[in-house]
Structure 1
Amino acid sequence: MTDPKRIVSLDELKAALQLAIGLELSTIPVYLTGLYSIKEGTNTEAVQTIRSVVMEEMLHMTLAANVLNALKAVPSPEPVTFRGKQISPIPVYPLDSPLIAGIGTLKLRPLSPQAVAGYVDIEHPLHGAAKISEIPMGSCVYATIGEFYEAVLTALADPAVCPDSAFEHRNQVPASQYYGGAGYVIEVKDRDTARKAIQKIIDEGEGLDPAKLGKTAKTVTDDDKLRNGWQMYSHYVRFRELQSGRRFRSTQLANQEPEGALVLVDYDAVHPARHVAINGDTVGGPEGAALSEFDLAYTRLVDDLYLAFSGQKKKVPDKLEDKGVALRPALPIAVHGMYGLKNMAVALMRTPSPAHPGQTLCPRFFYASTQDARDKLREGIDHMREQSR
Structure 2
Amino acid sequence: MSDRTPAPITGLKDLKAALQLAVGLELSTIPVYLTALYSIKDGHNTETAQTIRSVVMEEMLHMTLAANVLNALGQTPSVEPVRFMGKHLHPIPSYPLTNPLVSGIGTLQLRPLSPDAIDSFVAIEHPLHGAARAAEIPLGTCVYRTIGEFYEAVRTALTDPAVCKDSDFRHLNQVPDTQYYGGAGHVVEVKDRKSAQQAIQTIIDEGEGLPPEKLEEAAKSVTDKDKLRNGWQMYSHYARFRELQNGRRFRTDQKAGDEPMGAMVLVDYSAVHPALHVPRNGDTEGGTESAALIEFDLAYTRLVDDLYLAFSGRKKDVAYRIAGRQVEELKPALPLAVHGMYALKNMAVALMRTLSPASPPHTLCPRFSYVEEGDREKLGEIAKELRQDGG
Alignment match, 2:292: 290
- Normalising by structure 1, we get a TM-score of 0.97
Change (3 A) 1:319 1:17: same
Alignment match, 1:338: 341
Alignment match, 2:212: 210
Alignment match, 1:93: 95
Change (3 A) 1:329 1:139: same
Alignment match, 1:13: 15
Alignment match, 2:107: 105
Which of 170, 186, 190 is matched with 2:172 structurally? 170
What does 1:218-233 correspond to in 2, within 5 Å? Answer: 218-233=220-235
Give me the whole-angstrom Cα distance separating, in 1, the residues matched to 2:232 and 2:316: 35
Task: Verify: 1:354 aligned to 2:357, yes or no.
Answer: yes
Partner SS for 1:179:
coil
Alignment match, 2:369: 366
Task: Verify: 1:29 aligned to 2:31, yes or no.
Answer: yes
- Comparing 379-388 and 155-164, the one that deviates more: 379-388
Give me the whole-angstrom Cα distance separating, in 1, the residues matched to 2:83 and 2:187: 28
Give the C-alpha shift of residue 335 in structure 1.
1.7
Overall identity of the aligned pairs, in %: 70
Alignment match, 1:116: 118
Give me the whole-angstrom Cα distance separating, in 2, the residues matched to 1:322 and 1:46: 45
Partner SS for 2:27:
helix
- Comparing 102-111 and 214-223, the one that deviates more: 214-223
Unaligned runs of 5+ in 2: none
Alignment match, 2:276: 274
Give me the whole-angstrom Cα distance separating, in 1, the residues matched to 2:103 and 2:387: 41
Give the C-alpha shift of residue 227 in structure 1.
4.8
Which amino acid counterpart does residue 155 of structure 2 have in structure 1?
Answer: L
- Comparing 236-245 and 130-139, the one that deviates more: 130-139
Give me the whole-angstrom Cα distance separating, in 2, the residues matched to 1:166 and 1:3: 28
Per-residue CA deviation, residues 246-272 of structure 1 (Å, 9 max, x unaligned), is 011100011111110000000000000
Give me the whole-angstrom Cα distance separating, in 2, the residues matched to 1:4 and 1:124: 19
Give the C-alpha shift of residue 379 in structure 1.
2.0
> 4+ residue runs of structure 1 moved beyond 6 angstroms?
320-323
Give me the whole-angstrom Cα distance separating, in 1, the residues matched to 2:67 and 2:228: 24
Give the C-alpha shift of residue 329 in structure 1.
2.1
Aligned residues: 387
Which amino acid counterpart does residue 153 of structure 2 have in structure 1?
Answer: A
Unaligned runs of 5+ in 1: none
Change (3 A) 1:381 1:227: closer
Give me the whole-angstrom Cα distance separating, in 1, the residues matched to 2:223 and 2:318: 40
Give the C-alpha shift of residue 202 in structure 1.
0.2
Alignment match, 2:82: 80
Query: Are the equivalent residues in 1 in contact too, given 2:183–2:229 (CA < 8 A)?
Result: no
Give the C-alpha shift of residue 3 in structure 1.
6.3
Task: Verify: 1:329 aligned to 2:337, yes or no.
Answer: no
Give me the whole-angstrom Cα distance separating, in 1, the residues matched to 2:229 and 2:309: 30
Give the C-alpha shift of residue 380 in structure 1.
1.6
Give the C-alpha shift of residue 279 in structure 1.
1.0
Give me the whole-angstrom Cα distance separating, in 1, the residues matched to 2:69 and 2:22: 10
Per-residue CA deviation, residues 257-306 of structure 1 (Å, 9 max, x unaligned), is 11100000000000000000111141111110000000000000000000
Alignment match, 1:304: 306
Partner SS for 1:223:
coil
Give me the whole-angstrom Cα distance separating, in 2, the residues matched to 1:280 and 1:119: 25
Give me the whole-angstrom Cα distance separating, in 2, the residues matched to 1:298 and 1:79: 19
Partner SS for 1:338:
helix
Per-residue CA deviation, residues 88-141 of structure 1 (Å, 9 max, x unaligned), is 100000000000000000000000000000000000000011111111111000
Per-residue CA deviation, residues 210-264 of structure 1 (Å, 9 max, x unaligned), is 0000111110223223254533100000000000000111000111111100000
Alignment match, 2:381: 379
What does 1:33-44 correspond to in 2, within 5 Å? Answer: 33-44=35-46
Give the C-alpha shift of residue 327 in structure 1.
2.6
Alignment match, 1:67: 69
- Normalising by structure 2, we get a TM-score of 0.96
Per-residue CA deviation, residues 191-213 of structure 1 (Å, 9 max, x unaligned), is 00000000000000000000000
